[in-house]
Structure 1
Amino acid sequence: MFWFLLIALVVVVTAVALAVVGGGDGPGHTATGGLADAPPDLAEAWLPPDRPVNRADLEALRLPMAVRGYRMADVDDVLDRLGAELAERDARIAELEASLAGEQAAAMGGPDLFEKPGDAPEEPR
């Protein structure tokens, strides 16, 4: 029984060694033999550089993995981009709200709000 297990172990180790070194032309092997290099782990979908990010872009975003979680540089890039776009949108919203408040104040009566329609403004003495 011991010799059978020893021979089986040698056969399995030899088969694995031949597969790694290059003992076939099947899928996953290169023309020169051996296993093909694994493609680099890159992002499947990235944020569009030519337009603002929308919800669908974030849902499609897949950050590349590293040995221990996500790659910090890629996560930092995404967070920097989103932070910049949020700051830009906040500034635009504040600008539009200020413009709207000014237009509403002008529509309500402007500077002569408390004068009666028939009264003439007082002249300085």
Structure 2
Amino acid sequence: MSDTEPISTDGAPSNDNPYSQGVRAGDTLHVSGYGPVDPETGEAVDGDIGTQTDRVLENIAAVVDAAGGDGLADVVKVTVYLTDLEDYERVNEAYGERFGDEPPARVCVEVSRLPEDVRVEMDATAYLG
């Protein structure tokens, strides 16, 4: 028997696609990829890449909170997907402001395109032990 639990929250965007916002497996939470989408409107937020990065991280934090965690404080790994590596430094600034002195492990890759033509998406892993 699998020890997994799908996580759902109104604090992060959802849609009709076949995936969970997050899946808890024991003390590990796998958070699906999120772009800079406002969960109330279902639309990408306006603003520069820093503003969009903040929205992405708020979405991830909401899923961690819904799983019983402590937002970004419990995140141990993030993958960042950018459609333009020219945004890398500004994303780093916004990301660093949110994670502080002890950021999680991270990968950043440039991709050709993201859903809804957003410029940034992230997925995450959190430890909830």
Q: Normalising to structure 1: TM-score of the pair? A: 0.22
**More strand per residue: 1 or 2?**
2
TM-score normalised to the size of structure 2?
0.22
Q: Which has the higher helix share?
A: 1
Greater relative contact order (Cα < 8 A, sep 6+): 2
